[in-house]
Each structure stands twice: as C-alpha cells, then as structure tokens.
Amino acid sequence: MVENSLGRLWVEGHPNDDLKANWKYYLEEAEQEPEVQKQLDEIHKDYSALKPEDIRAIDPCMGSGHIICYIFDVLMQIYEAYGYTARDAASSIVQNNLYGLDIDDRAAQLAYFSVMMKARQYDRRFLSRGIQPHVYSIMESNSFDPNMIADFTDGRKELKSAMDSLISDLHDAKEYGSILDVKPVDFTSLYTRFDEIREQNPNMYTYQILDELFPFVQIAEAMAQKYHVVATNPPYMAISSSDVKLYKYVNKNYKEAKTDLFAVFILRCKSFLKKHGLQAMITQQTWMFLSGYEKLRISMKSSSIVNMAHLGPRAFEEIAGEVVQTTSFILTGFISSDYKGTYIRLLNGESQGEKEKLFLQKSNLFLAKENNYEMIPGHPIAYWMTTNVLNVYKNGTPLGEIAAPRKGNSTSDNNRFLRLWYEVDSRKMNLHSKHIDKEDSMRRRWYPYNKGGGYRKWYGFNDYLIDWYNDAAAIRAIKTAVIANYQYFMKPGLTWSTVSTTNFSIRWFDEGYIFDNGGCCIFELGDKRPYLAGLLNSSVFKYIFGQLNPTLNFQSGEVAKFPVIFKQDSHIDELVKECVSIAKEEYDSYETSWDFRMHPLIRNTKTIREAFIQWESESVDQFNRLKENEEELNRIFIDIYGLQDELTPEEEEKVVTFRKANLGRDIRSFVSYAVGCMMGRYSLDVDGLAYAGGEWDSSKYKTFIPDKDAIIPITDDEYFTDDIVGRFVEFVRTVYGTDTLEENLQFIADALDEKGSTSREKIRNYFLNDFYKDHLKTYRKRPIYWLFDSGKKNGFKCLVYMHRYQPDTIARIRTDYVHEQQARYRTAISGLERHINGAPTSDRVRLNKQLTKLKDQAEETRLYEEKIHHLADQMISIDLDDGVKHNYAIFQDVLAKIK
C-alpha cells in the first residue's frame, strides 16, 4: 500500500525526513499471511489507477484547519511526484481533494483562511482565481422559507424529493454537527437547477436561493459523499442525558459509542469512507480497553487497524496542561482477521520530544493480528500482549466463572449512613455477626463495611461501619440508593479497592461485613480462597491485568475476566494464610484497628528503648518473612502461568504493605496510647477498648487510674495537678518504673524532636503544638479527643474524650479549669509586675516580655470564657451516632479548627 497515493499521504508527504522514513518502516514492517497479501495486492490494484485529482480527503471536525493544511502539503508532494506544477496542483487540491466541516462558524472562517493562505503559498495569484475551498460551517434547515424551497424545486418531483430529504436530515444540524448521517440524493440535478437560476431573470427568491440554499446543498453533499481518507482530532466530551437532543440521537444511531463524542466520531468517520479507505484519528485511549467501549470494538471488526501510535499523556507541547491519554491510529476497510497491524507504544515518553525519540528508536514496535483480540474477554486492543499471555487467556478460566466478584451498595448519602468505627458507641457496633437480624440491628445498628481504602495486601482497611438500623429501612427509603447483592452480606470473602493510588491489592475478611461499590468483594470461594488471594496479590496478576487496565480503576466486571489457571498446591494455602496472619497482626498493632489490644511498646522492660529495640527486631523479621512469602508465591504462579521469560519473583520493598518500626511514628503512637489510658479509653489491665460508651466500670483500671472527668488541661506551665505532662510522666513511671524515668523521658523527648532545654519541656511543647495535628491525621480528621482551645496565644487548652462527654462537661471546663487558669494569670501578672519594679535594668526587658505574654494569654482566656460560658449554660447533649463531624460542629467556636 505504500506505493499507492493513499500510502503516500502518510509517508512521502511528512515534512520530517527521519519520521517519514520511520512511517514507511512501520507500514512495510509486517510480513502478512499469503491470503492477506493477496487482498492487499487487490487493494493496491484498485487504487493504483487513482489520479491525484481523484483523491477525496475530509476532516469532519476541522477546527481552524491544521489537519487539512497538513494534508494539503502531503497532497502537494503527491501531485509533484506525478509531474504537476505547484500552481496547477494548488488549484486542483482546493477544487478536488480537500473537504472540511465544523459546527462552529468562526472555526470554519479560520479554516477557510488557512486553506486559502496555504494555496497562495504555492501560487501567489491564487486569490484572484475565484476558487473556493470545500470547508464549511454546518448549516441547519430549520429556518428555510418554504416559498423559497418551492421556487427552487419548481414543481419537479425529483428536486422536491431531494430537497425534502436534505432538509429533514439537516434539521437541528447545529446540535449534532457532522455526526449526522446525510443520505445521498441526486446532487447533479440540484446543481443543474442552480445553474438554471443563475441564467434566468432574477425574482424575489433568486438571491436567497444562491446565498442560502446553494451553500446548504454543498454542505449536504460534503456530508453525504464517501472519501478515500478521513483524518480528524474529534472532540472529547462525555455525552450526558442533560443534553437531551444529542443524547437521544446518539443512543438511537451510535449506541455502541454512546459514552463519549470521540467514540461516536470513530463510527461516523468509518461511515464516511469508501471501500478500503483510510481513517486516521487522534482519540483518547479508553476505547481500546474499557468495558464501556466493548460494543464499539466489536463493531470495528469489519475494519483493520493498519498502524497505531499509542501516544499516552503529554504528547502535544502546543496544548498546555495536556494530560489526556491519546492514541493516533489509521483504520481501513475490512481486510482480514489475520491482518498484522503495526503498533508503536510511546507511553513511557514524558514529553513530545521523548516520544519522538522513542518512535525513531523503534524499540516498542509490535505486530498484532486482529483475531488475537478475540481471545481476550472484552476484545481489548491489546496489541502488546505476548504469545504466553495470549495463551493464558486461551487456556485460563475467567474468575467470574470460578467465584463471584460483586460490587455492593450505594447509599446516596454516605455522610449520613457511614461512620469510622471509632466514632460510635462501642455497644452499638455489631462486629462479628454471621447474619443480619432485623431485631438485633435495632440495638446494635453499626455493621462493618468494606469500602475500599487504597493499596494494602492481605488484611486491613477495616475502618468503616454502616448504619443498618431496622435492616437499613432509612437507606431503602431513598430512591437513588442501591442495596446490591444482599445475599452475599455477612459472608466471608476477599475485598479490594476499586480505585487505588498505586496498584491492585486483595484483602482477606471473615464473616460479618456488608460492602460498598468502592470496596468490591469476591464470594463463593470455597476452598479456593487462599489460592485466589495469593494469585490476585501476585506479580502475575499485576502483569496480566495491568496490561488491559492502565488506569487505576479495578471494577468487579473487569476483575471477573481475569484468566485463572488453577493448580491445587497446599503450599500456596500455607503461604497465604501466614501472609494474612502477619498482615493482621501488624494492622492490629495500631489503635486505629478495632482489634487493637495493647501498644507494642508496652513490654516487661525497664526502658522504652529496650521495648522499641525488641519491637523493631520483631517487625523487621515479620517484614522479611512477608516479603519472602510473597516472592515464593510469585515464583509459584509464574511457573503455573508459564511466564518465566517475562517475570521474576522479586518484590520491591515498597510494594510489601507492612509498616516496619519507625522511632518517631511509634513514639508518637505511644503518646497517643498514653492519652487513651489517661482518658479511660484503654487500660493497662485489659486488652483492647476499656471504655467507648456505656456504663463506666472502674474495676478495669488498677495499675493506672484514668482522669476522673476526662478533661485534661494542656498548658505552657504546670498549673494543674492533672496537667497532661504530669499525667504522662506518671504513665511512663507506671509502665517502666521510677529508676529509669528520666532516661525514658529523654528517649521519648529526643524521638519527638521538639524544642526545649529539658525532656519535660520538649514533651510539653509536643502536646502544645503537635499532638493534636498528629491525632487528626491518625483519626482522619474525626478526632475522638477534642481540643478545647482559646487560640494562638495558648491561653487555655484542654483535651476531652468524646465518648465520656456529659451535658455538664463544658460547665466543668469553665468552672474547674478556665476560672482556675484566669486566677493563676492574675496572680502571676501581679507578682511579675512587682518583681519588675525592683529588678535591675538588665532583667527588665526579659521580664516585660514575659509580662506581655501573660497579659495576652489572660485576655485571650477572658474572651474564651465568655464563649464557653454561653455553651455551658445550655447543658448540650450529644449523640455518638451522629458522628464526629456533626457533633464537633456544635462546639466549633470553642474547639480547635479542623481544616
């Protein structure tokens, strides 16, 4: 095909010699099957007789005309190769070859200007020749005068039939543009009639016919006729039901491509083509893989992809901020399913220049038969797939035939129905039920809810609860809510996040969960659960699945297509169960797990340093064991899938989702646990939650007694007996003993890395400045300890445990703490003023600075007392079921701000 004029359109005419040579290479590279070559020879024979003036090329979304101007240059070289002069070629190209359509009048005007200037580049007198280019702004027929039409048709049935057809086809044409399918009519008769009108004496409709109807017919002809070449960069626009006319038209005429306008144009451009014509487009890549475009891909089987440049993001420097994944491809009329298309994969290039360099290197060149795609579920355009991977799809069984991948609920109001588990009253959590009991759901209404969460393998992201009160009666009452796959609720399975920032990961869960459409699950696993968990977390899955899913979107329907090759192996089961056990133990070592028992630094040691060294050694051992297991699983599945030449079993440390010990993070979590013990949430005498709502049981606390009212002041000096620093020091003494207290405080202070001259000062600064930031981060902006805060001067701060809040808590803060603080400020200010009067001049600057600070804090606290007084008098109650976000907002004027 390279030697005929159509091949030259994309080879000989390219302005860059290197790129021109490469395009020729790509077109000629594939050695075709004999039957295919026979068809190619026939196509060549059909087109070899074409003269340059016979070629028809159109851009149906021409914009300002950059593509048709490029085609102009290509055609010029074709004409010159046939011996034409540049002047004669320019006239012929404008008259015979080039067509352009757009829905926008201004774009058409720019394209018209561009073509005229391009012609003048080759013929300086072109503008005086009276030749008009076939570039048009699409007209609609809505406002045509019936009398004008009657005058034009002159009672002739053939003319009336033709005009009625065009007027009908182009009604509301501005709504649809060139996706309209205009039926061919006898255009020769119409143009003959226009010639008659020009020759006859003018009447009241003559000028209207020539000025309006004549260009209308030209546009209709451009939309109705067939072309040898269609080249365009179509608009990328999701088709919404809010655009009623377009939505209905596309659903009626382009149902296979109804998702996006660029996909519609793939089909429309195909219908513009003559037999064995060439269709060249720049599109988004999504049509190649996503299930929503499967019908489009199947409908394109009547054509063959000649070649494709798979561009990826940032392919065009001229387009600022270009992030759209793009694909440039040439599609021709049907040849054979055995035809080998030529593909170049340029996804790794980070810029236009890098992609051009990769193109020249030919390092990512692929040859692929159309019938290869039929082996793969969904018929994706997976040209890069190796023979081994194709054989996997050929021999494997889709996961959806072995188990049941399912998506879950959509509540339509997650803020109302979902809570992070630590927000609610623990007595109302229904964590380990094996079925949903309507009566029980009215007492224990909060059920575990799989909702995704990101990238983590084997176990975890058990964060959310869903309000299933009265068997979700409130959710069911919402028309837009969806309760999906109810029959699988509370059953064990595997879950994953449909959207991840890095990669796919599968997690194990047992009975007791409801699930979300963002946390899809696999059920009906039987004894295959360990095997499938190992497979789906392996590098084999990532390699095969990732080839068809370059986006980080893992819908249940896509996962269900994954080819499973099952080979019974008890060693796989053992490895997977150990991985799950290691991951669960690590996950439960943090207080954000509902199965948290005790902080890992609470050990029978004299120093926290020793405790950390032990914990660090254990975590490294567990990490290494998990990594070894994952690599062994990779090796096993690589062998099962026959991918030894394509994959190695090694895992990078960053993909092993295990948090090794980290001194700074772990000391901060130790401080958080200590505060939990001060509040009574935890106890050194019992595992897990000691109190998170309900009746207070003092028998749980023997070793370390929590604060009596769960109000703990944070001040910049030791003003209160239950000051948070004093309580923390007492906690460290209780855990590790008196003899090593100072050593332990210094170790903690160094790990916290705060300013201060002593360990206690550093710890105090951490509580004043950074503890609450860390708490908000740990608890994802749903704090369980609330910071009552007077402001930037640190006049008054105290922590309150949300689950121990009482209607009189604010009054207690005011009378027992704020008033007490105000009294201390008054005493301190008075004493400092007396001291300044008798102090030497050298000390007065420092003392005055202290005095200013105290006065500022006293004033801030006075204003804060007025705010808190207003709330204290109201004796406000809260309902933990309402969640942190709602309850925190009630007291927002006196609490630390959450951004």
As a whole number of angstroms, the distance between CA 327 and CA 309 comes to 6
Q: Is the model's pLDDT at 6 over the cut of 60? A: no
pLDDT at 66: 92
As a whole number of angstroms, the distance between CA 377 and CA 399 comes to 11
**Token reading at 735:** 């855990």
- Averaged pLDDT for residues 398-416: 94
pLDDT at 567: 92
Q: Is the model's pLDDT at 519 over the cut of 90? A: no
User: How wide is the angle at C-alpha 725 spanned by C-alphas 723 and 727, nearest 5°?
Assistant: 70
Q: DSSP assignment, residue 688?
A: S
How many Cα atoms occupy the beta-carbon half-sphere of 632 within 13 Å? 15
Q: Is the model's pLDDT at 888 over the cut of 90? A: yes
Indicate the SS3 state at residue 415: helix
Q: Specify the DSSP element, H or E, that contains 232.
A: strand 227-232
Give 144-164 pLDDT, tens digit per residue: 999 999 999 999 999 999 999
As a whole number of angstroms, the distance between CA 732 and CA 605 comes to 12
User: How wide is the angle at C-alpha 449 spanned by C-alphas 443 and 454, nearest 5°?
Assistant: 155
Q: Specify the DSSP element, H or E, that contains 101.
A: strand 98-102
As a whole number of angstroms, the distance between CA 209 and CA 196 comes to 12
Main-chain phi, psi angles of 721, to 5 degrees: -70, -30
User: What is the residue extent of each domain of the chain?
Assistant: 21-54+232-339+371-380, 57-137, 140-225, 401-655, 663-890
Give 11-29 pLDDT, tens digit per residue: 444 445 554 555 555 555 5
As a whole number of angstroms, the distance between CA 381 and CA 141 comes to 40
Question: How far apart, in Å, are the Cα atoms of 442 and each of 473, 491, 707, 816?
Answer: 10, 21, 33, 39
As a whole number of angstroms, the distance between CA 724 and CA 711 comes to 10
As a whole number of angstroms, the distance between CA 593 and CA 422 comes to 9
Question: Residue-wise over 429-450: b if at least 16 C-beta within 10 A, else e?
Answer: bbbebeebeeeebeebbbbbbb
Q: Is the model's pLDDT at 336 over the cut of 80? A: no
- Averaged pLDDT for residues 717-732: 92
**Token reading at 42:** 């026939």
pLDDT at 193: 95
Q: Which amino acid appears at position 159 of this protein? A: L
Query: Could you give the strand order of the β-sheet that contains 404-406, starting from the edge strand earlier in sequence?
Result: 404-406, 521-523, 493-496, 506-509
- Averaged pLDDT for residues 702-707: 97
Q: Which residues contact 131 (CB under 8 A, 6 or more apart)?
A: 91, 94, 95, 119
- Averaged pLDDT for residues 762-773: 96
The percent of residues above 90 in pLDDT, for the chain, comes to 72
The C-alpha R_g of the chain, in whole angstroms, comes to 37
This prediction's pTM: 0.80
Main-chain phi, psi angles of 545, to 5 degrees: -65, -40
- Averaged pLDDT for residues 385-395: 91
Give 541-583 pLDDT, tens digit per residue: 999 988 877 666 688 888 999 999 999 899 999 999 999 999 9
pLDDT at 532: 97
Longest CA pairwise span in the chain (Å): 119
